[in-house]
Amino acid sequence: MTYPRMLPDTDSLVIGILAAALGADARVVPEVEATLTDILSEGKGYVVVESRGGSDRHPQFAGLSTVDVSCWTSDSRRGCADLAEACRVALYMAHRSQTVRPEGHLSTYRKLSGPQRIPSGVDAVWRTLTTYELGTRPPVEVP
């Protein structure tokens, strides 16, 4: 069954923005996968995007989402901080340039907290968590 969608799926929108910006250097996913350690052992970064809800500014035209972006690396604490910064820059630049993706675009950008170092529970694996408040809009339809 298909349901109509007025506002973008925030996770898909953010994953698309980050995957395009980070390229082959990192895997960007909506939840932690069993292959996490395999990807880290290849020297790639790992980014998990999780929307935690939000409010509608207008139920048809604009939403406001709280989004957690977790970054994982196996190279160093600094490498993980650099990956978190690359995510921050990608989201800000997508908002600033009003980059339109098939899922929609970011109408507002605000970093709420982070990057905060989080124990990974695994030796030689670093993790950070950054929380954003992102305004989302559906894609602009071109006549």
Q: Which of 62, 61, 65, 63 is nearest to 53 (CA)?
A: 65
Residue located via tokens 């350690």: 37
What pLDDT is attached to residue 34? Answer: 83
Using CA atoms, how far apart are residues 55 and 59, in angstroms rounded to an integer?
A: 9
**Rounded CA gap, 56 and 60, in Å?**
8
pLDDT at res. 142: 45
Per-residue pLDDT of 119-142, as tens digits, reads 766 778 889 999 999 999 887 664
For the segment 82-101, the average pLDDT, to the nearest whole number, is 94
Domain architecture of the chain: domains with CATH: 10-137 (3.30.2000.30)
Q: Quick: pLDDT tens for 26-77.
A: 999 998 888 888 888 888 999 999 988 776 666 666 778 999 999 999 988 8
> Which comes out higher in pLDDT, residue 35 or 16?
16
